[in-house]
Amino acid sequence: MRDLMIVSERPAAGRIAVVSPFDGRELEKVATSNIAHVEDALDTAYALFRDRNEWLTVPERIAILARTAEIMQSQVEDLTLLAASEGGKPYNDSRVEVIRAIDGVKLCAEALRNDTGKVIPLGTTIATMGRIGFTEKEPIGVVVAVSAFNHPLNLIVHQVGPAVASGCPVIVKPAGDTPLSCLRFVEILREAGLPEGWAQAIITEDTATAENLVTDRRVAFFSFIGSSKVGWMLRSKLAPGTRCALEHGGVAPVILAEPCDDEKALASIAKGGFYHAGQVCVSVQRVFAPAKTAKRFAKQLAALAKELKVGAPEEPDTEVGPLIRHDEVERVASWVDEAVAAGAKLMCGGKKISESCYAPTVLFNPPADAKVSTLEVFGPVVCVYAYENLDDAVAQANSLPVAFQSAVFCDDISTATSLAKRLDASAVMINDHSAFRDDVMPFAGLRESGLGVGGIPYTFEDMQIDKLLVIKT
């Protein structure tokens, strides 16, 4: 049983079993927190922040992060199997996640090494003559992070790592389905020398406890990754002065424009659509192809989808793993059935393989108002739509209240960049799928898809303030 990762003498509120999403076997029991534990965690974090004598120096933070990366590097295999078993992402993809997480920790240290204030150009007016102005960086205060299940280690690194780098005490609540990678990361931080109290993990069983944590007046910065419904609700209840960053979902559009190398596009779109069984906020979901080639493209994509090996995430040859919960399989199945009943052509898949796995599915021309066309599927489903002209394709791509990353495939760079400029998106991949991401990139949902900018350098910046010093000479 994994103990509470908060500074508290109180006994655990309860125990929850963490189970494999693939076969339901129990992986571990973890202790849960109640409102009293939340209060203890906030008291500890806020006291550390208010006592400037307790602040960690820049060299101390750099050393802790460097040692954290070293420990993680020595445990790549264990961390990979842990993430795969609790989250269901296949072994090879989970290993990539772990390597990214290690690099993310290094990026946190790198950001800290390059962190500087700026000189303010005083002396340009009569009123400011004889003064020197410059800014220094300071931690913003207590950070509370609420995370998602789909990248159980790397998302935690993205939220907790910058807090450690910036000198902020952080309290993190991982997804209830995938707490083990988070707990292990906090343990590694402590092994690396982070003093007790600077990073605390809390597992909750009820929304009231989580809400009390997030909305407390002592919280200076709130980092959220999850559903838009929950994210916007929590933002509306934040204490005055609490800053936040929200990362929600999208219904990622991809436009194929002539001239286009369909073979290259096919492999990329298959990866972007079926990676982690489509459980990524920027997974390829809507593909718009020229009418004369759209059905052929859908058939070819279906042929690739049929070849994907679906199975246990710990197996090295598995390409598509389970959905996170059985009820998610049922939901995806009902959405696909609804689309087919309304006229979508089922090119492949469209069935449950087991209670935990759904077959990679390609739909051709689902109705514009179908759930698979308007809502984030978060499952292994890619929809292909035929368009008559590019204006129509752009209009359809931009038609939803969500906007995140998107993609354009076209061998004519002028056409490709023109389309990219017209798409309502925070990022457009050209000749690559919409789910591409590197941890130095800005990562931002627009409209209902989020608020603020993710990516380690940007989160690090958000967790600091610029303190202005003016010296009269």
Q: Name the pLDDT band for 193 (thresholds 50, 70, 90).
A: very high
Instruction: Give the residue-averaged pLDDT of 201-216.
Output: 93
Which of 247, 328, 376, 448 is flagged as catalytic?
247
Instruction: List pLDDT tens digits, range 333-365.
Output: 999 999 999 999 999 999 999 999 999 999 999
- Does pLDDT of 7 surpass 80? no
Give the Cβ contact number of residue 446 at 10 Å.
17
- Does pLDDT of 390 surpass 70? yes
Kindly state the tokens that stand for 100.
């990214």
Q: Name the pLDDT band for 8 (thresholds 50, 70, 90).
A: low
Kindly state the tokens that stand for 96.
């990539």
Which of 281, 357, 383, 410 is flagged as catalytic?
281
Whole-number Cα distances in Å, 145 to 9, 141, 182, 220, 231 = 23, 13, 11, 11, 12
Instruction: List pLDDT tens digits, range 120-161.
Output: 999 889 989 999 999 999 999 999 999 999 999 999 999 999
- Does pLDDT of 89 surpass 70? yes
* Torsion angle in degrees (nearest 10) through CA of 64, 67, 73, 78: -70
Phi, psi (degrees; rounded to nearest 5) at 125? -130, 165
Residues 117 and 63: beta-carbon distance below 8 Å? no
Active site residue 281: yes
Active site residue 247: yes
Q: What is the largest CA-CA distance in the chain?
A: 78
Query: What pLDDT shows up at residue 205?
Result: 85
- Does pLDDT of 277 surpass 70? yes
DSSP state for residue 195 in the 8-state scheme: P
* Torsion angle in degrees (nearest 10) through CA of 242, 245, 249, 255: 140
Q: Is 410 left (phi over 0), alpha (psi -120 to 50) or beta?
A: beta
- Does pLDDT of 269 surpass 70? yes
pLDDT exceeding 70 applies to what percent of the chain? 98
Instruction: Specify the range with the lowest mean pLDDT, choosing from 13-22, 328-337, 368-377.
Output: 13-22
How long, in residues, is the chain? Answer: 473
- Does pLDDT of 406 surpass 80? yes
Query: Residue 389 and residue 403: Cα distance in Å, rounded?
Result: 22
Angle (CA) 269-273-275 rounded to 5° is: 110
For each of the domains in the chain, give its residue range(s) and CATH number, in order of start: 14-248+449-472 (3.40.605.10), 253-438 (3.40.309.10)
Query: What pLDDT shows up at residue 372?
Result: 98
